[in-house]
Structures are given as structure tokens and as C-alpha cells.
Amino acid sequence: MVRAGQLDATMSQYLVQRITSTPTIEVRYRSEVVAASGDGHLEALTLADRDSGATEEVASSWLFVFIGASPRTGWLGPDVVRDELGFVVTGHQLLTPTHLPHWPLARPPFALETSVPGVFAAGDVRLDSMKRVASAVGEGAMSVSLVHRYLTTI
């Protein structure tokens, strides 16, 4: 299901090619999932055509949601440094000439630390993160250790 009229406007070309060349994948453009149903587990999805409004129920036992790669970090405020796309700059990237003026301490930032000492970012919201669930989970776990390390420095 693709809410837009095409995939390649927001997705890398190699991934678009893999999706469109796989015979077991049906791509439906200008469509969206409007309901999911089942008894104790997913059994069906209700799909809607965004142009006509027509709906169709299809059997399904799996659903993966990928609704975009925008970081949505505006709520962090101006003190947390982000790149031009809104991804949070962390760790050693704060030591580059562009971002160094925003790092306020004499010690270098910890690996996932933002420009606000003691504030850490993990997962897809970070600049240059791997954009994978397993990586985000690992970074989340790692941030707990980094918070403990930070607390010993204050």
C-alpha cells in the first residue's frame, strides 16, 4: 500500500527496483490500510482507494508499517542541534567544525549524546543512524548505560 502515486519520490531506487521486480509483491498506489481485524491475531485488512473511497477486505496475517523517514524532531526546541532535514546530531559528529560551537563542555560528548549534555538520542531520529529496528533497540539499551555514565560526571 502506497498512499502516494509512486514509490520513487520517497524511497531509494534500489529498494523500489527490488519491490517492483518481486512477483509476489503487489503494489497498490493511492491506497491505504483503514482497518485491521482478527480474532486474537491479524486475519484481514481493509484497504481503501484514496481517489474513489472504495474499500476492499483482504486476508492477511502480517502487516509492516513504514510511514516515512522524516525525523519529526521540531518539538525538541532550538538547543538540540539537528541537520537541515531535522536529524539529531550526536556524539563525535558534534565535534565537527560546523557543530563544535554548540557543544558546551570541555569533555567530548558521549556516543549518543546530543548538543544538550545529558540528553541522548537513539534510533532513526539520529543523523547517520542505520535506520533499522535492531539498531534502534541496541542504541536504546546503550543509552541507558550512557545516562549512568553521564550521571557520574555531574
- Measure the CA–CA gap between 102 and 95, rounded to whole angstroms: 9
78, 148: one domain:
yes
CA distance 89 to 86: 9
Domain count, the chain: 2
Q: Domain end: 38, 68, 98, which one? A: 68
Q: Within 13 Å, how many C-alpha atoms sit on residue 79's CB side?
A: 7
Q: Is residue 68 over pLDDT 80?
A: no
pLDDT category of residue 135 using cuts at 50, 70 and 90: confident
Q: Pick from 28, 51, 68: which residue ends a domain?
A: 68
Domain coverage including residue 41: 1-68
Grid cell digits, residue 150: 553521564
Q: Are residues 84 and 110 in the same domain?
A: yes
pLDDT at res. 150: 95
User: pLDDT band at residue 129, thresholds of 50, 70 and 90?
Assistant: confident
Cβ count near 139 (within 10 Å): 22
89 and 29 in a common domain: no
Same domain as 60, residue 9: yes
Residue 11 has pLDDT above 90, yes or no: no
Residues 102 and 88 in one domain: yes
80 and 63 within one domain? no
- Rounded Cα distance between 117 and 54, Å, is 51
The whole-model pTM stands at: 0.62
Residue 67 has pLDDT above 70, yes or no: no
CATH of residue 27's domain is 3.50.50.60
- Per-residue pLDDT of 36-60, as tens digits, reads 999 989 999 999 999 999 999 999 9
Assess whether 43 and 78 both reside in one domain: no
Domain match, 59 and 121 both:
no
> Dihedrals φ, ψ of 126, to 5°?
-80, 145
Q: What is the pLDDT of residue 154?
A: 87
